[in-house]
Structure 1
Amino acid sequence: MDTSSAPARPGSDFTRLSRLINQRGLLKRRPGDYAVKFALNGLLLTVGGVAFVLIGASWWNLLTAAFFAVVFAQLAFIGHDAGHKQIFRGKRANDFVGHLHGALVGMSYGNWVGQHNRHHANPNHEDDDPDLDIPALAFTTEQAMGKRGMLRWIAKYQAYLFFPLLLLEGFSLHHSGIRAVVRREVKAHKLESVLIFGHIAAYLAAVFLVLSPLQALVFIVVHQGLWGVYMGCSFAPNHKGMPTLTAARKFDHLHKQVLTSRNVRGGRVVDYVLGGLNYQIEHHLFPSMPRSNLRHAQPLVREFCARLGLPYHQTTAVGSYAQVLSHLHAVGAPLRAPAVS
């Protein structure tokens, strides 16, 4: 889709949409809903921990590793919501929840919030969106042609390698957090140092005390690998394969966010599995909207976009991954073309 053909609308379009959303009370915080999420995640974490200890030094604990991958993703979703101030109005309370959940999964909350805020300000921007700056993948033909060595080979077959590469996403999240803390690139670097290295110490101690050394290593690989796949599969459908923007293409907030985002259709099960990120258009338009309100805002936003003639893209979960893989395959096509002598 060529975004250059989108109609130029004044900023008042978003103002009118915001007024509609406010009139429905959809930006009001819902602490009760989050209290339920906290309790459920706490219960799941406790059940997983008890099962891990009771099963002990057995290969059956690899099932617990898969279970913890799901739990870690749900905890990370809460950290995401806290970073957008969806839970409480005050920054301090949200940051407390964010740092706590960052510690539980071993991520730097401050580093992630900084990167994610830049993404929200410039979604799918070829120069300014950090989510398009992934060494192992190419999202534009220019990026693909600029790869060298092993990264060029990966870009060449990236559609086939996409899901295997997601197995490394969990380790990447840990690595980027540790690097940011060590380099003091986050404000609360002392606090985050204690939290992230405390997590690593507690995690490794628990795994190696309960399991044999070989079992512990395999447990870590399975847990972190599946967690990475879950996280990647939750974020990838949102923008990958949607139009990319450049400095030459300037849009107002409404057009920029809607044109570059993709929703995933589904009921409450999909809402839970994807942490509300399936309402990516609404989330990008109103980042502080509580997760539970996104499903109520969706028909309002879709109808508003229809009245403006603004393309509003949504598909099924399977369809979203098909579009992502198709885009990655097309971007890598020039690298697979035979050289012209």
Structure 2
Amino acid sequence: MATTTKKEKNYPLLPRREIESLISEGKQIIIVDGYALKLDAWMQYHPGGDKAIQHVVGRDATDEVNGLHSEEARGMMKRYRIGRVEEGKWKNFLSPIQGGYFRGRNEEGEEWESGSGSEEGSSVFDEGLRNRKGGSSSASSVEEDEGKDGMAHLDALTKEEIKLDLQRYPALDTETQERIVEKYRELHERIKGAGLYDCDYKAYAIEGTRYAIFFGLFLFFLKRKWYIPSAVFLGIFWHQLVFTAHDAGHMGITHNFQVDTVIGILIADFAGGLSLGWWKRNHNVHHIVTNSPEHDPDIEHMPFFAISHRFLQGLRSSYYERVMEYDAAARFFISVQHNLYYVIMLFARFNLYRLSWEYILKGQGPKKGVAAWHRYLEFAGQVFFWWWFGYGVMCRSIEGNWNRFWFLMVSHAVTCPLHVQITLSHFAMSTADLGVDECFAQRMLRTTMDVDCPTWLDFFHGGLQFQAIHHLFPRFPRHNLRKSQKMVQEFCEDVGIPYALYGFVDGNKVVLGRLEEVARQAAILKKCRDVFMEGEKGKH
């Protein structure tokens, strides 16, 4: 609990029942440093979008807020305080966007209890994930009992995987989770004290030189009509550039919101054709509800991929606000997803163009406040990108339609390692929902893995190889991530949380194993349904 000043002591004490009633009326109440914040007025201004706030309504979001926001932003949030909460650990509600129920003022009923684990889906990262070539024990039993209902089989998998996560990770009781929170905050202070939040601008000078070389080689070969080498270097330029846009989106360069955002837009929109605003809205939700099948847009890739058997039930995405149907297209792609993984990754950038324009044209970003003008800068950036790339390069500089086609395909396919890297750190990890009692640090480490690589290859991975550390400290400058790895490992050993670290090749094997496992579950589900339907026909 944070200490309060004399002025802050004037805030009234809000009983838990009062906060529940306010949320039932549609108020956006979160808990930060022992205070209740009412964020209704801030929703339309929030640069990270409204969804990120909605997912922490009714919860103690202290670590999420501290991790994702600058000191200036955190100071600004104090104006939204409406009261204090009772001393001791706040017992989280399940937020409305995630299906939580809140009693109104005059509504009777038992006190809402947060469970130690929900009945929702899960997957685990353990040795079994790589070794289960023939499927899990529950899968085998279903194949023996082909008449068993397919949904019952999926529910059994859900419970089994939650059980495995509960066995592998620290207990969800209050004492254990409070100790993890305390140790995590101590680690945060150690990292700040070591100066690791200070950006290494010399590293960016090297980055900028590398970008200029790649772009120069792209132009050099383009002028000589060597289209394939030109396309390769343009793709490498885009691949490398995204890492700095990621840094800027997290305010990891200058730590100034406006400056870093403009840097990010110049890189992402003007040079790469991708919307930084879309990325921030999407990515902030990802950092809050990492690897949740219903809520994390970074793992919602139906109909092409399903990394959890729960997608086979047709889940509703709270981010896209639609049901992700397990339809005919999904049944086909998921049945072969482990074979098509790298092929689809070759074309992933095209989908990002679509999402970027959708975000800008639909006005999904803030319409008021300090971030409102970013939409117009992004629109200008998109026009500029399609002018220099779409018209200047594709139409004016390349001769012949086949040359244009191959230039387009090659330049975009070269960015494939970036998309593999992004999915690598999460596709192989747990998708289990262990309930609202799990603290931020444990949830991040349970759903994210790091990739081991030699120091000289850091430029290739661009900091994304330290995703677990990045999820613990999102605003951390990426050139300092490796320096903090030992401290994070010590923290994990101290609190008993497994630190997932794979080599790049082994990590890819684990991802392919996960995709193959879900494909196998899809085949079992189809078999169960076919048997069930035949049985029903026989009754008539």
Is 1:22 equivalent to 2:199 in the alignment? no
Offset of residue 123 of structure 1: 1.0
Amino acid at match of 1:23: G
User: For 1:118, which of 264, 285, 298 is the aligned residue?
Assistant: 285
Query: Does the 8 Å CA contact 1:144/1:332 hold for their aligned counterparts?
Result: no
Secondary structure class of the residue paired with 2:177: coil
What residue is the counterpart of 1:299 in the other structure? Answer: 486
SS of equivalent residue, structure 2 residue 349: helix
Once the two structures are TM-superposed, the CA of residue 111 in structure 1 deviates from its matched residue by 0.6
Which AA in structure 2 matches 1:170? R
Q: What are the equivalent positions in structure 2 for 1:9-158 lying under 5 Å apart?
A: 9-10=177-178, 11-53=181-223, 55-56=224-225, 60-102=226-268, 103-135=270-302, 136-146=304-314, 147-158=326-337
User: How far apart, in 2, do the equivalents of 1:158 and 1:250 lie?
Assistant: 34
What CA distance in whole angstroms lies between the structure 2 residues aligned with 1:250 and 1:65?
49
Once the two structures are overlaid, the 10-residue window that deviates more, 168-177 or 13-22, is: 13-22
**Which of 420, 443, 449 is the equivalent residue of 1:233?**
420
- Match of 1:52, as an amino acid? L
Contact 1:13 1:254 (8 Å CA) reproduced: no
After TM superposition, what 4+ stretches of structure 1 lie above 4 angstroms from structure 2?
Answer: none
TM-score (normalised: structure 2): 0.60
Q: Does 2:349 align with 1:170? A: yes
State the Cα deviation string for residues 73-96 of structure 1 (Å, max 9, x = none).
Answer: 111111001001111121111011
The structure 2 residue matched to 1:184, chosen from 356, 363, 376, is 363
Q: Deviation at 1:249?
A: 5.4
Pairing partner for 1:330 from 512, 517, 524:
517
Single out whichever of 290-299 and 136-145 deviates more from structure 2: 136-145
Q: C-alpha displacement at 1:230, in angstroms?
A: 2.2
Aligned to 1:318: 505
Structure 2 CA distance for partners of 1:142 and 1:25, relative to 1, 3 Å? same
What does the per-residue CA deviation read over 1:178-204, in whole Å, with 9 as the maximum and x for residues that have no partner? Answer: 111111113422221111122112112
Partner of 1:208: 395
In the alignment, structure 1 residue 194 sits paired with structure 2 residue 380? yes
Match of 1:221 among 406, 409, 413: 409
Change (3 A) 1:247 1:181: farther
1:247, distance to aligned residue in structure 2 (A): 6.7
Root-mean-square deviation (CA, aligned residues, Å) is 1.6
Tell me the distance in 2 between the aligned counterparts of 1:40 and 1:267: 19
1:215 and 1:83 map into 2 onto residues whose CA distance is: 35
What is the letter of the counterpart of residue 300 of structure 2?
A: D
Query: Against the structure 1 CA distance between its residues 250 and 152, is the aligned structure 2 distance closer, same or farther, given a 3 Å change threshold?
Result: farther
Instruction: Give structure 2 stretches of 5+ with no counterpart.
Output: 1-123, 125-163, 171-175, 315-325, 367-373, 535-540
SS across alignment from 1:180: helix
Instruction: Kindly provide the amino acid, as one letter, of the partner of residue 242 in structure 2.
Output: A
* TM-superposition CA deviations, 1:3-55 (whole Å, max 9, x none): 323223212121111122122211122223223212321232123222211x2
Structure with higher Rg: it is: 2
Amino acid in structure 2 at the alignment position of 1:230: P
Preserved CA contact (<8 Å) 1:124 1:243: yes
**CA deviation after TM superposition for structure 1 residue 64, in Å:** 1.8
Q: Give structure 1 stretches of 5+ with no counterpart.
A: none
For 1:155, give the aligned amino acid.
I
The 3-state SS of whatever aligns with 2:443 is helix
| 2-structure distance, mates of 1:17, 1:41 | 34
- Partner of 1:280, secondary structure, is helix
Deviations 1:200-221 (A, max 9, x none): 1211222222212221122112
- In structure 2, distance between residues paired with 1:250 and 1:322: 32
CA distance in 1, matches of 2:293, 2:389: 37
Partners of 1:31 and 1:88 within 8 A in 2: no
**Partner Cα distance (1:63, 1:28) in 2:** 38
Q: Structure 1 residues 249 and 137, CA, compared in 2 at 3 Å: closer, same or farther?
A: farther
AA aligned to 2:382 is I
Kept in 1, the 8 Å contact 2:278–2:365? The answer is yes
Structure 1 counterpart of 2:166: 4
1:140 to partner: Cα distance: 1.1
Greater per-residue helix proportion:
1
- Identical amino acids, percent of aligned pairs: 24
3-state DSSP class of the match of 1:210?
A: coil
Please name the residue that 2:471 is paired with: 284
CA contact (8 A) 1:127 1:246 kept: no
Q: Which amino acid aligns with 2:264?
A: G
Distance 1:161 1:51 in 2: 32
**Alpha-carbon offset, residue 336 of structure 1:** 2.1
Give the Å deviation of 1:242. 0.4
Which has the larger displacement, 147-156 or 312-321?
147-156
Distance in 2 (alpha carbons) for counterparts of 1:216 and 1:272: 30
Partners of 1:15 and 1:204 in 2: CA distance: 48
SS in 2 for 1:126: coil
CA distance in 2, matches of 1:331, 1:170: 25
Q: In 1, Cα distance between the equivalents of 2:487 and 2:502?
A: 17
- Which string of whole-angstrom CA distances, capped at 9 and with x for unpartnered residues, describes residues 244-286 of structure 1? 1327354212101111111111112331111111111111111
- 2:255 match: secondary structure: coil
